[in-house]
């Protein structure tokens, strides 16, 4: 058998004759492996066990206040963690629920701010030191120039739902189609994010809300709905105003415009409520059908009249000259003898003169005339303070039961 012929050895081709080498395509960015991260060495910083990646939705804003020092206000879903950080760092909780740090001890301030930044960085919470004026300082400066005694607190609306609660408590011109104006305060609270607002409360119960305008550095001031009054849809609410950042000028505008409009709206609401109560009582109870003591609903309506009647009588006596004639003056004397309070300085133990007519019967017969007279003299009327329940005359107090039934109404819920 012939032997197979061996194959010749394969010679390598020169470089210029070799075919090009096929290369693999580069992997897409999505398929690339992340680079290896070096493990933390012993003794280095490690993440805290309660660290959560969702904590970055909170923010701490630091203000410089001339009254309170450094004030920290919190916003975001994780506001509880932010407030815990402030407590751990040494901030003190004020009476309004906010956290402040006095400016007396500089080393303490430096240490507290350092702790706040370190803890916030560990919790992924943002810390911002702003140069904007603190709304509480402006509110306190303005309250010093308003008539009466005022207390100030700053509401920190950390969540948008808290801001909605504030908007529900505002007594401002609403954007209804039949409304001629749209209050700037209500417009700002409903259209923009307002994380903080100042609330002023007077010794007479009037409450004001102050927020900073979104852009121009001005302030919007409006009123809150009264706590002890049912809102009447027929009464136009007092429209909020926009004031300059000058406390003296702002207080002058608030006293002359906003508070005057507030008294007008409160007076109109009281007159409407008194007229409705009297119309219901005259229709529901015929003469001779009133029990002793009276029915609970009738007693509650009569109590509301006796609460506001002394203030209406005093306001009508102080009205402009020519508003009240002789017959009206005699009518006011008769109503004052039945529903008026004891003069200041008199002995409360001394029994007052009991009127010849039963106060409840006088209310049913002539109470409507007092309301009509007040409505007629409304442009020249100066609303006086409402008399307290303890200041009623003995005859009126004897006609009322010891406990009055509660009455539900459209009063906003306060947080």
Q: Which two tokens stand for residue 83?
A: 């407030």
pLDDT at 150 over 90: yes
pLDDT at 193 over 90: yes
CA dist list (Å): 107 to 26, 101, 110, 114, 214 = 57, 12, 5, 11, 35
pLDDT at 30: 54
pLDDT at 42: 40
How does DSSP assign 77-113, residue by residue?
A: TTHHHHHHHHHHHTPEE-TTS-EEE-SS-HHHHHHHH
Residue 178 C-beta-side C-alpha neighbours within 13 Å: 4
For helices 160-169 and 184-191, give the axis angle rounded to 10 degrees.
160
Mark 18-46 as b/e (b = at least 16 C-beta within 10 Å): eeeeeeeeeeeeeeeeeeeeeeeeeeeee
Q: How far apart are CA 34 and CA 114, in angstroms?
A: 34
Q: How far apart are CA 288 and CA 300, in angstroms?
A: 19
pLDDT band at residue 7 under the 50/70/90 scheme? low
pTM flag (> 0.75): no
Q: 3-class SS at 75?
A: strand
How many residues appear in the chain?
Answer: 415
pLDDT tens digits, 107-143: 999 999 999 999 999 888 999 999 999 999 999 999 9
Q: Are 84 and 61 in contact (CB under 8 A)?
A: no
Mean pLDDT, the chain, rounded, equals 78
pLDDT tens digits, 199-226: 999 998 999 999 999 888 899 999 999 9
pLDDT band at residue 57 under the 50/70/90 scheme? confident
Q: How far apart are CA 294 and CA 307, in angstroms?
A: 17
pLDDT at 33: 53
Q: What are the residues whose beta carbons fall under 8 Å from the beta carbon of 333, sequence distance 6 or more?
A: none
Q: What are the residues whose beta carbons fall under 8 Å from the beta carbon of 352, sequence distance 6 or more?
A: 342, 393, 394
More confident residue, 233 or 106: 106
pLDDT at 379: 63
CA dist list (Å): 23 to 13, 27, 30, 390 = 20, 12, 20, 99
More confident residue, 380 or 400: 380
Q: Are 293 and 299 in contact (CB under 8 A)?
A: yes
Q: Are 407 and 300 in contact (CB under 8 A)?
A: yes
pLDDT at 293: 78
Q: Are 251 and 145 in contact (CB under 8 A)?
A: yes
Query: Can you tell me which residue has the tokens 């040494």?
Result: 90
Q: Are strands 196-202 and 126-129 parallel, antiparallel or unpaired?
A: unpaired
SS3 labels along 199-234: EEEECCCCEEEEEECCCCCCEEEEEECCCCCCCCCC
CA-only gyration radius of the chain, Å = 36
């Amino acid at each position: 058998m012939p032997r197979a012929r061996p194959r010749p050895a394969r010679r390598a081709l020169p470089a210029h004759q070799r075919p090009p080498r096929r290369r693999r395509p580069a992997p897409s960015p999505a398929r690339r492996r992340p680079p290896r991260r070096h493990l933390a060495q012993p003794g280095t910083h490690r993440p805290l066990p309660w660290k959560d990646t969702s904590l970055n939705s909170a923010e701490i804003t630091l203000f410089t206040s001339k009254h309170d020092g450094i004030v920290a206000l919190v916003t975001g879903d994780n506001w509880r963690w932010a407030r815990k950080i402030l407590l751990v760092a040494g901030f003190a909780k004020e009476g309004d629920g906010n956290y402040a740090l006095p400016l007396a001890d500089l080393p303490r301030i430096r240490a507290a701010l350092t702790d706040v930044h370190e803890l916030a960085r560990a919790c992924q919470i943002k810390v911002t030191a702003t140069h904007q004026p603190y709304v509480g300082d402006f509110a306190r400066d303005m309250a010093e120039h308003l008539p009466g005694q005022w207390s100030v607190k700053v509401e920190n609306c950390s969540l948008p739902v808290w801001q909605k609660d504030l908007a529900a408590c505002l007594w401002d011109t609403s954007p209804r189609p039949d409304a001629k104006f749209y209050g700037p305060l209500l417009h700002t609270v409903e259209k923009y994010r307002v994380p903080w607002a100042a609330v002023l409360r007077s010794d007479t119960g009037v409450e004001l809300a102050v927020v900073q305008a979104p852009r121009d550095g001005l302030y919007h001031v409006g009123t809150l709905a009264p706590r002890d009054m049912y809102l009447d849809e027929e009464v136009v609410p007092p429209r909020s105003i926009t004031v300059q950042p000058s406390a003296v000028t702002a207080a002058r505008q608030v006293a002359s415009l906003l508070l005057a409009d507030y008294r007008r709206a409160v007076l109109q609401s009281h007159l409407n409520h008194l007229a409705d109560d009297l119309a219901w009582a005259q229709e529901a109870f015929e003469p001779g059908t009133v029990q002793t003591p009276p029915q609970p609903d009738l007693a509650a309506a009569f109590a509301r009249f006796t609460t506001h009647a002394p203030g209406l009588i005093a306001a009508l006596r102080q009205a402009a000259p020519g508003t009240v004639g002789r017959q009206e003056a005699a009518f006011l004397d008769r109503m004052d003898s039945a529903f008026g309070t004891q003069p200041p300085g008199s002995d409360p133990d001394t029994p007052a003169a009991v009127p010849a007519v039963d106060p409840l019967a006088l209310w049913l017969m002539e109470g409507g005339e007092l309301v009509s007279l007040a409505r007629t003299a409304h442009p020249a009327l100066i609303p006086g303070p409402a008399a307290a329940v303890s200041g009623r005359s003995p005859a009126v107090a004897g006609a009322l039961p010891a406990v009055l039934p509660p009455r539900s109404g459209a009063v906003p819920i306060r947080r």
